[in-house]
Amino acid sequence: MTQFQGDYNTLKQALEGSYRVDQLKSLAKQISKKNPTRKVELVAHITSLVFKNIDTLLADFDSMAINALAEAVHNWDGCYKSEQFYAKYGAVPQLITTRGSDEMHLLYLFFINGRIPRDLMAVLEKKINVPASEKLHYGKLAKTPDLTTRETAHAACMNLNRLLTMVEENKIRVSPKTGRATAATLKKISASLCDGDFYDEPLDPMQAFAWPLLLQGGGLATIDNNFLKLTRAGTTALKKDLAQGIKAIWKKWEKTKLIDEYSRVTAIKGQKSAKGRTMASPVRRRPVINEALACLDPGRWITVDEVERFMLSESYTFKMTNYDWKLYFSDPHYGLLDYSDTWPLLQLRYLLIYLFEYCATLGLLDVSYKHPRNARPEFRSCWGADDEPFLSQCDGLMQIRLNELGAYILGISPAYGAMDTQDFEIHDTDIIYTGKGVPTPDHSLYLDKIAGQIEVGRWHLSVTSLLNALKQGETLKEIKGFIHQISLKNPGKPLEKLFKAVENRSSAVVEKGKATLIACNSEIRKQILTDKKMSTLCLPAGEHHLVILPEKDERFARYLETLGFIIGR
């Protein structure tokens, strides 16, 4: 069916304005034996017959034609959308009639220039049932030797903690122009990642590449003298709530212009031509994908191909370029992309990179993937692409699963790791995790700060561990509150005794401020110490020195002047 070119209020107007006499005759002879020959009369005749015999006409259509009408009438404002229709039904209406290709199919009585006229729409709304809703088709996790499966949520939170700590320690060096980490920094990050990067060398780093950009685009870090430094939000995420930190990144990343994720597809040239306007802004793509991800059922595996099909069917589509014809493989004269179907080269590849290098790095999606070589080889039919092993390293992504952290980030679940609070027990001065899997990173990292881990899922609290935590800025009140939260019970006598001992040790010697040490001769020293006012502002220190008490310097100097002396420098 031709694409929509005009919006007609009536079938009569549409037939008159869109079809030639020979086309009208082809349609008329299929619904009537005697037909006029003049166009005006043909149009009136056909219009009358369509409305009079609409039930008979619909009864002669096959199921695919009825589905096309149903989708257009109830979902697409009268339009026929071929890509969406094919994505949902796996086929399109067959428009070749039994009498041959020269005869127009009767579906063209309804879809005129790709759209149903308004008066006909009003009738069809009552005649045709609403089509079945689109559904995502989930499946089991594929298990073959070439596939690797990663659960990402815990590692992502741990990695956020490690990256923020590296930023705090001034270890993340980036290009001030692009914000990308230097080669040496990429190696440092790769070596520190929890569970390692998705692929080993010689493939390029993915998580190590994405994290510095995510910290900047997410507002947790900013560039200062070629190094990243923490923002206030970054400091908060490091000290309090890693999952909330990832959520903060996710919200801001949607609007960042720091990078177009598609730039990782280096085999397709011309992305920077036209003064950077060749590619459409990723700011308009990300919200579409995020909206589609929110349709996923948490905890269920699904293929990327099924996600792509669903997005096409439900019109979760996005624009990749302003000028397709400026993109090419190998040679701008022969390898132009506008000679090819660009969806798998552009939109699908962007989707793969976004899901794998960014969503999975942030821990929203668990992933199942293979080596990218030959994983999606259809692009090799393009001129100049036959020698490329893959378009991007993310070609190897096969299945995804929206996990608990992803459900929280996307607003499907109200909290992340809430069940942890019911999965700890206190045994004397030990804290034991009794839940499934591992505790959330926020809990395990805090336990590592206040206690020593003596085995998997078991931490031992001691005077030494608690004093070390206090030295790092924690308070006994906060520690007690945390332990009460995760166990939902009173600490018990052994732990209360331990807290009392630590409180005594941490309060026996208390810093009250900085004092000033001054030297003075024995005569003036004696005079000061025997003076009624000045003796309350200082203490003797050895035979030739005095210590002015904290915050008493000004008063001491003022009283000293009444004795006829000043403090020398």
The phi and psi torsions of 119 (rounded to 5 degrees) equal -65, -35
Structure confidence at residue 3 (pLDDT): 44
Q: What is the spatial distance between Cα 382 and Cα 266, in angstroms, rounded to a whole number? A: 15
* C-alpha distances in Å from residue 470, one per residue of 30, 238, 448, 462: 89, 17, 13, 12
Residue 2 has pLDDT above 50, yes or no: no
Give the residue from 207, 187, 182, 185 showing the smallest Cα distance to 197: 207
State pLDDT tens for residues 386-405. 899 999 999 999 999 999 99
Are 111 and 120 in contact, with CB atoms under 8 Å apart? no
CA distance 164 to 176: 18
The answer, yes or no, to whether the previous bond of 491 is cis (omega within 30 of 0) is: no
- Sorted by sequence, the CB contacts under 8 Å of residue 38 that are 6+ apart come out as none
Q: Which residue has the higher pLDDT, 241 or 83?
A: 83
pTM of the predicted model over 0.85: no
Length of the chain: 569
**Is 50 exceeded by the pLDDT of residue 74?**
yes
Alpha helices in 314-400 (DSSP H): 347-353
For residue 418, is pLDDT > 60? yes
- What are the tokens at 372? 């990218």
pLDDT (tens digit per residue) in 24-73: 999 999 999 999 999 999 999 999 999 999 999 999 999 999 999 999 99
Q: What is the mean pLDDT of residues 326-352?
A: 88
pLDDT the model gives residue 4: 44
Greatest CA separation found in the chain? 135
Identity (one letter) of the amino acid at 202?
P
Q: Please, are residues 86 and 67 in contact by the beta-carbon 8 Å criterion?
A: no
Instruction: Please report the DSSP string for 462-521 in residue order.
Output: -HHHHHHHHHTT--HHHHHHHHHHHH-S---HHHHHHHHHHHHHHHSS------EEEE--
CA distance 301 to 139: 6
For 259, phi and psi rounded to 5 degrees?
-155, 145
Structure confidence at residue 131 as a pLDDT band (50, 70, 90): very high
Q: What is the pLDDT of residue 339?
A: 65
DSSP three-state, residue 566: coil
3-state secondary structure of 79: strand
pLDDT, tens digit (0-9, with 9 covering 90-100), for 454-497: 998 899 999 999 999 888 888 999 888 888 888 877 778 899 99
How many C-alpha atoms does 289 have within 13 Å on its Cβ side? 25
Cα separation, 86 vs 308, in Å, equals 12
- Residue 28 or 94, more confident: 28
Average pLDDT, the chain: 91
Sheet holding 545-548, edge to edge: 516-519, 545-548, 538-541
- DSSP letter (8 states) at residue 344: T
Per-residue pLDDT tens digits for 524-558: 999 999 999 999 999 999 888 999 999 999 999 99
Retrieve residue 383's tokens.
């001129």
